[in-house]
Structure 1
Amino acid sequence: MQQFDYVIVGAGSAGSALASRLTESGKYTALLLEAGGSDRTFWVQMPLGYGKVFHDPSVNWRYTTEPDPNLDNQRSYWPRGKVLGGSSSINAMVWVRGHPNDYAEWGAAAPGWGWDEVAPVFHRMEDWDGPANPTRGTGGPQAVHDVKDEVHPLTRSYLEAAEQAGIATNPDYNAANMEGAACYQISSRGGIRASAARSYLWPAKKRRNLDIQTRAHVTRILFDGTRAVGVEYRQNGQTRTAHAHAEVILCGGAINSPQLLQLSGIGPSAVLQNHGIEVLSESPNVGRNLQDHLGSDIYYRATVPTLNQELRPMLGKLRAGLRYILTRKGPLSLSLNQGGGFVRLDPEAPGPDLQLYFSPVSYTRAPVGVRPLMNPDPFRGFLMGFSPCKPTSTGYLQIRSPDPMAAPELHPNYLDTEYDRAMMLKGIHLMRRIARSPALQSVIESEMTPGADITSDDQIAAYIRQKAWTVFHQCSTCRMGRDAGVSVVDARLRVHGIQGLRVADASIFPTIPTGNTNAPAIMVGERASDLILQDAKG
């Protein structure tokens, strides 16, 4: 049995940050176990390469939900990173801290997680290359890139149209004010993806007190009574064990952390007993309270060139590829969603209630089960979309088998509340209002979907049920809180009723943040290191 102070399960967004911080003093040893492999591949490191790895099983868990009655019984495809860096290695890189009200919600559920506590953590994480601002960090491990001088001309048209529709341009939505239309900041440096692995693990990999093991799939947590003492994992066809003198910390993300807890006997007793798993601790909220952002969009045919003309033809692909290889610039160095922003439709809302997306390229989403290359459409087109920031519908996940290699059941339960359904309708109406502004109206040939003939709320609602998509922000399945009756971990991320075991990843979010979830997930890893090191000092 291998012996370490800390065993960390999952080298994703939070796990990478946590492993780096726990070992930087040299005082403690840590084993970091990642089920996936190396992130040192071209398609991971190139920012726009996420279109290539969107269905790649070598770096992607490729989860599929159960049929959702609220989406006409369709399944949703949930890519999640199975690689060093986790989903930060395959995501769209959009960097959003969230709104202070998000953390007011967190602090109410778990003291110590309010904006005043987490803002300094975001600050120390960042290496922001945009205009100097006292709220933005520089010199931190995590690169954050300001893209506004590199976006496609059509993205500038979008910003102008939004302004004409009454939505002012915000030069930095991660600073004091979040609201407004914007170019999205991304986690990259020098045209290369700045995943959590590249930012935190690459500089730490030579430390003698940090052991990083890949292709190491953890199958269960080991206990002495109700104290976690290690883990069992499979690697290269062999079953191995590792012992933690201090703690085991789960950083598997919103799907894998609750799955591992259930496989190890911590979860809803009925679920565990149904699969013949002995109940170590009845914890009914493990896998519950699943939240996600659900989006919808409108396809437009354009009268002017879009990125389709640059990235669809083979010659265009070659030119873009050559430009990227030689200069690390061009569309391959950016994200598809170059623009977007945040708006507050309800004046009584405590923060933005709708996130906007603008992509100067269009592509057709394939049905679940089809594995296409994400290829631009053959015509001039672009996409404008949105997602409600604070959805109120919740779903759940649970193991479908005691086999740790079997994917769990995923029940998103989208659009289950009247609030969520109403916000989706409002989103379509806002997209059309922006599209009617002169700056975009002058470049739009036609609305392709849902189409100009889809006008009533009933028709729009039917379109949304058929075409809505996940924004890949699953969270809250091991949520944090003081009350063990409604949460899984306490404010110090310790699993209720268990000793020596914590969870530190997006699963602990008490509520879903406003915007993309990668920055908050990395922040959780950073904040967890503070708490663990404080407790280690006694």
Structure 2
Amino acid sequence: MILLLSIILSPLVSAINPTIYDYVIAGGGAVGLSLAVRLSEDPSKTVVVLEAGETGFGKLNRGNFGTANDWRFVTVPQKDAGGRVQDQVQGRVLGGGSAINSGIYIRGNKAEYDALETLGAKGWNWKSMFAAVKKSEHFFPPSAAEIKALGLTFNPAYHGHSGPVALSMQALNVSNFYRDFAIPTLHNLGHEMNLDPNGGTHNGGSWEFLTALPDTNTRSYAVSGYYLPVANRTNLHVLPNSHVSRIIWSPTSTKDDLEASGVEYLALNTTAGSPARQFINAHNIILSGSALNTPKILELSGVGDPTILKRVGVALVINLPGVGSNLCNQPVTIASYLLKNGTVDAGNTIRAAILDMQPLSGFLSPSDLKRSREMLSVKPQGLSTPQFEVMKNLMAAGVPQMEFTWNIAADGNNITTLTFDRLILLKPLSRGSVHINSTNPLDPPVIDPKYLSAPHDKFIFSKAIECTRRIAATEPLKSIIEGPIVPDSTVQTEDDFIHYVNSQSQSEHHFIGTSAMTLRSLGGVVDPSLRVYGTSNVRVADLSIIANLPGIHTVSLAYMVAERAAEIIKNDL
């Protein structure tokens, strides 16, 4: 976990409106704010960021989920996940998700990024995105004491060393459990430790990398890293409490190449009884509202599926049925085991965990692998054929599909438990949607991720939970296991584990895909230059552009998108 932000005093953010900005960015999250800083490096360009939330200065802590710093969205009842309504966390504060997340950082497999290019995102591949993301990073290697005590490994060539966001491996005062039990058990399972999971291969076990400063464990994020050091730039303006409602289209636009003249937003911090409607003119519009909010802005602006727009009374401007479709997010659950009293020292559990990223062969039996292949003969709803073929190829190539995070906790009575506190289905096939349900920009969107609707998702997810029993029965871990806690010992059969997944899985809040950068004929919304199809000066730069989710925690992907977008936009104009 990451400690509260150690920023109490900060520059007052305000805007001095020029007649027209060069760029208006709708959303001050990890991508939008970082991109704004990069674009404003040119002093001749004026940039304004409109953020619906507050600055968060001096108010961020570990408990931001469900607070005013969170959009507090919920899904419709999820038919294939026990009919439950699930919370969907999205940062509603300057810095977005980077301000409230757990800070876990991992980049995934190079094949996952190269696959984006095969879906039509020309120029978006491992080589370009790896080079881009290193610009965002200031890696702090572990100390000599940490390396000696724990055998921590890293490859300096995989990291940036002068970027704005700190990345560190913090593992001092770690329980002896990891050295004496976890790592040897992984070895006996055939799950070796990875030298460094950030160089394009993340299979196997690794220590957590965190977006945090070393020693103090203080959060490093888009605000502290990118924005605050340059907050006094006269050509960069940030307006919090500014909720973008729609794009304003120029009356001189041509039918096939629409031009926007600015955006409308609601000023939420006025003393009046209702938000004040405001307008900002700009040469270029960049939407960076997140995979759950950007589709709403597009649809309220008349860009989307004609059926959706007609239903709520919005006039169609551009027919793009892919807006709001292809929503993908990772489901997560836990499994925990009681350890025999006195067998391990809990250590400083806040600063230690092992991530074990496994392909199908790492947690499915030979017979279950056969069943997996049989299930994959049928394409799930919501996926294009090229998407489905890409995902099957990645599975066959051994790209990780599950994350098993090992963590130790001790209660006040010194009773210690092993918790796989993030059992994450990394690359789900299930696809859902997010759409407007009214013309009121303050109304939340209708979110239907269709969790576990693809039969293969539910099958391998439940098998991964079952696999933790085999892990617990592997030496040397077996010698210190008292028994299962959650799911308890009554959960034994395949149906039992499926029921557990249906009733206990939750959202991991890693949303992508709803303004996909793919061919328009495949439901794409933006081209490789990030322009919305059918427009001349409207772009999207957030995780909604990613058509297929890499098997990662998405903060690294956010900085990839921000830095790659900056390169493209600077070179394009």
TM bucket by the smaller chain?
0.7 to 0.9
Structure 1 residue aligned with 2:509: 472
Q: C-alpha distance in 1, partners of 2:307/2:155?
A: 54
Structure 1 residue aligned with 2:427: 390
1:199 correspondence with 2:210: no
1:228 correspondence with 2:264: no
Structure 2 residue aligned with 1:187: 211
Q: C-alpha distance in 1, partners of 2:187/2:22?
A: 54
Structure 1 residue aligned with 2:90: 80
Q: C-alpha distance in 2, partners of 1:18/1:345?
A: 36
Structure 1 residue aligned with 2:276: 238
Structure 2 residue aligned with 1:17: 34
Which residue identity is paired with 1:143? A
- TM-aligned CA distance change 1:70 to 1:61, over 3 Å: same
Identify which of 20, 40, 43 aligns with 1:26.
43
Give 5+ residue unaligned stretches, structure 2. 1-16, 142-153, 362-394
Structure 2 residue aligned with 1:318: none
- TM superposition shift of 1:160: 3.1
Q: C-alpha distance in 2, partners of 1:153/1:64?
A: 40
Q: C-alpha distance in 1, partners of 2:135/2:480?
A: 42
Q: Deviations over 1:357-403 (max 9, x none)?
A: 1232389xxxxxxxxxxxx9996434214222221110111112111
Structure 2 residue aligned with 1:251: 288
| TM-score, structure 1 as length reference | 0.87
SS in 2 for 1:262: helix
Identify which of 448, 471, 478 aligns with 2:485.
448
Structure 1 residue aligned with 2:335: 298
Q: C-alpha distance in 2, partners of 1:11/1:53?
A: 17
Q: C-alpha distance in 2, partners of 1:262/1:177?
A: 38
Q: C-alpha distance in 1, partners of 2:183/2:84?
A: 34
Q: C-alpha distance in 2, partners of 1:28/1:429?
A: 55
Q: Is the 8 A contact 2:65 2:89 kept in 1?
A: yes
Which residue identity is paired with 1:125? S
Identify which of 237, 244, 248 aligns with 1:211.
237
SS in 2 for 1:72: coil
Structure 1 residue aligned with 2:6: none
- TM superposition shift of 1:132: 4.8
Structure 1 residue aligned with 2:79: 69
Q: C-alpha distance in 1, partners of 2:23/2:359?
A: 43
Q: 140-149 vs 25-34, which deviates more?
A: 140-149
Q: C-alpha distance in 2, partners of 1:179/1:70?
A: 29
- TM superposition shift of 1:169: 1.4
Q: C-alpha distance in 1, partners of 2:22/2:261?
A: 10
- TM superposition shift of 1:338: 2.3
Q: C-alpha distance in 2, partners of 1:278/1:100?
A: 42
| TM-score, structure 2 as length reference | 0.82
Q: Is the 8 A contact 1:105 1:510 kept in 2?
A: no
- TM-aligned CA distance change 1:456 to 1:272, over 3 Å: same
Structure 2 residue aligned with 1:100: 110
SS in 2 for 1:143: strand
Which residue identity is paired with 1:444? I
SS in 2 for 1:400: coil
Identify which of 330, 355, 362 aligns with 2:403.
355
Q: 275-284 vs 148-157, which deviates more?
A: 148-157
Q: C-alpha distance in 1, partners of 2:279/2:241?
A: 14
Q: C-alpha distance in 2, partners of 1:535/1:135?
A: 28
Identity %: 29
Q: How does 1:122-141 map to 2 (within 5 A)?
A: 122-130=133-141, 131-141=154-164
SS in 2 for 1:160: helix
Which residue identity is paired with 1:344? P
Number of residue equivalences: 494
Q: Is the 8 A contact 2:343 2:480 kept in 1?
A: no
Q: C-alpha distance in 1, partners of 2:343/2:85?
A: 31
SS in 1 for 2:500: helix
Q: Deviations over 1:315-364 (max 9, x none)?
A: xxxxxxxxxxxxxxx656x4xx722121122483341222221232389x
Identify which of 129, 132, 148 aligns with 1:118.
129
Q: C-alpha distance in 2, partners of 1:294/1:273?
A: 32
1:178 correspondence with 2:206: no
- TM-aligned CA distance change 1:306 to 1:91, over 3 Å: farther
Structure 2 residue aligned with 1:343: 358
Identify which of 145, 160, 163 aligns with 2:184.
160
Q: 527-536 vs 145-154, which deviates more?
A: 145-154
Q: C-alpha distance in 1, partners of 2:58/2:130?
A: 33
Q: Is the 8 A contact 2:327 2:514 kept in 1?
A: yes
- TM-aligned CA distance change 1:254 to 1:362, over 3 Å: farther
Q: Is the 8 A contact 2:107 2:200 kept in 1?
A: no
Q: Deviations over 1:258-288 (max 9, x none)?
A: 1111111111111111111111111101000
- TM superposition shift of 1:152: 4.0
Identify which of 421, 424, 444 aligns with 2:458.
421
Q: C-alpha distance in 2, partners of 1:211/1:390?
A: 37
- TM-aligned CA distance change 1:36 to 1:304, over 3 Å: farther
Q: Deviations over 1:47-97 (max 9, x none)?
A: xx33x11221x2111111110010110011111101111011111111111
Q: Is the 8 A contact 1:505 1:525 kept in 2?
A: yes
Q: C-alpha distance in 1, partners of 2:286/2:30?
A: 14
Q: C-alpha distance in 1, partners of 2:476/2:140?
A: 29
Which residue identity is paired with 1:41? G
Q: C-alpha distance in 1, partners of 2:109/2:440?
A: 39
Q: Is the 8 A contact 2:109 2:200 kept in 1?
A: no
- TM superposition shift of 1:39: 2.5
Q: Deviations over 1:227-263 (max 9, x none)?
A: 1111111112322111112x10011111011111111
Q: Deviations over 1:438-474 (max 9, x none)?
A: 3433333221121222111111111110011211111
> What do you get for the CA RMSD once the two structures are aligned?
2.3
Structure 1 residue aligned with 2:500: 463
